[in-house]
Structure 1
């Protein structure tokens, strides 16, 4: 087998041209959880930093959340619509059913014609992995406009008798439109998987999340900081060049610990976990859209998106933000 280059050339012709998001109306507060399982608000905040999470209604499936995020994007960016959409990629571990895909249901709902529709299953690294795949499709020259969505309805597979996991997870969706451009804004990417750690986060035969939080925490702290530094180094950049670090919002305490090991101020990290809980593949686009609405993201800002989780897998992407002020 040919030896892989240490610094492969990275080409991009993709830019983020629009963004949207959606979270269900129902909120599960820490006080609500106190009535469901042996826990309390102080314990949850101390261990996770989470104040609340959203729960899909009984008649809301992951496809409904994804569709709502796309409609939000269309409503906020009037020049964007289903016309000319070449592909839809949905990152999710909670599809409505094994098949048809969530992406195909989004395609039908928005009326995109002659469109590739495909789900991506990479858990909490799913959204970044889907962006990497979308960039590859655009590089072929065949695809020019791709919707990438991270969507989850994790509360459906949460065991509310397990106080170590039920405090974490919430539902939501975020969507972006990638557009072909000669000034590609994806600067570099990386990915890594340690399948031997897959038993630390999985869905059991009862269709419930099982997680060894201690092991996942140890793995993330021992690998993510070095991988982020490596991502920047191979792009010829440093942490000082970053405007924003956007990690998967698994747990605020984990984000704080990763930033500490990176020697990066926590103020430079964007997160969605405090108000939304851990939304797996949706956490990064939710964090991006929240920051965009708040005016934190400015055109030209350099972002490091970094997803990590079940697999154990991780995916990183350096992005030059291309949207103006919200």
Structure 2
């Protein structure tokens, strides 16, 4: 028998405020058509004043717990992926732990920007495979609206706020390719490319900073690296692209999503796409897309899913899991 980390619950939360592309026309030299054409984004959600990343994460987590039919104290650990935590410390994960009423276990944050949820899933999987946890709540949550330069039309129109969550549970399976659960992960980073996507501030520089991105260079790296990491993860699981039911990618840009699917030899009909409604929600985008895909009836039990993401660092990776 093989111990697997199986998804038993999902949930997501989006702030109430919806910002259509047309809103930017009043303050920027841009149009709805320009934004749609270059990114595929039509709208995004922004957190309200006083609404923090941990608040969004808590709402998504509560929905996932309800979906799984579990209580907070049924969870052994929380792994929260975010680059926009409420405070320098403590972690947003411990704030979610308290807000849920979870009185046991442990919680910590993971920071790998847009690749954060893939990194969080990999860490959660390792906790389960090692026996340190039987149930792990994995969350991606961001309030990127707080770090945008509202005068930079090339970046501020791309990002949104939100949170998604799933619960992994240890289950014993036969060790076959049709087992439910995570089958493989692949993580990568290359710090030489820091200047392609970063925030020009931080704690030790004593400057909050704003997001900076060389979009064309990020695009060039993204398609190649995302397809490669997906193929690597599939090979580790003794599978190929032909076995994939759904790609659930980081929702950054429709052209990156289309380019990656093409490079993998898969049709867009096999890709869960939510970027038009959410924009780029960084570490929240994959769990948001998983939750929405399940809600839509696209993702069903037994489906083989590949999630892949790339973000600042550069950091990138993929996870292969059977739903």
* Pair in the same fold by TM > 0.5: yes
Report the equivalent of 2:31: 40
Report the equivalent of 1:217: 219
Give yes or no for the alignment of 1:71 onto 2:62.
Answer: yes
Offset, 1:227: 2.3
Q: Give, in whole Å, the separation in 1 of the partners of 2:35 and 2:63.
A: 31
Report the equivalent of 1:5: none
Query: What is the TM-score when the length of structure 1 is the normalising length?
Result: 0.92
For residues 198-220 of structure 1, the C-alpha deviation after alignment (integer angstroms, 9 at most, x for no partner) is 11100112421101101100111
Query: Number of residues paired by the alignment?
Result: 310
2:115 to 102, 118, 125: 125
Q: Give, in whole Å, the separation in 2 of the partners of 1:46 and 1:200.
A: 22
Gaps of 5+ in 1: 1-10, 322-326
Q: Secondary structure at the match of 1:13?
A: strand
Report the equivalent of 2:50: 59
Q: Secondary structure at the match of 2:49?
A: coil
Q: Secondary structure at the match of 1:246?
A: strand
Report the equivalent of 2:40: 49
Moved more, 218-227 or 104-113: 218-227
Gaps of 5+ in 2: 174-179, 202-207
Q: Secondary structure at the match of 1:181?
A: strand
Q: Give, in whole Å, the separation in 2 of the partners of 1:237 and 1:65.
A: 35
Offset, 1:282: 0.3
**Cα distance change of structure 1 residues 92 and 12 upon mapping to structure 2, 3 Å threshold:** farther
Offset, 1:80: 1.2
**Cα distance change of structure 1 residues 74 and 228 upon mapping to structure 2, 3 Å threshold:** closer
Q: Secondary structure at the match of 1:207?
A: coil
Determine if contact 2:73/2:104 at 8 Å carries over to the other structure.
no
Offset, 1:13: 2.2
Offset, 1:154: 0.3
RMSD: 1.2
Give yes or no for the alignment of 1:187 onto 2:183.
Answer: yes
* Pairs within 5 Å for 1:1-326: 12-77=3-68, 79-183=69-173, 185-205=181-201, 206-321=208-323
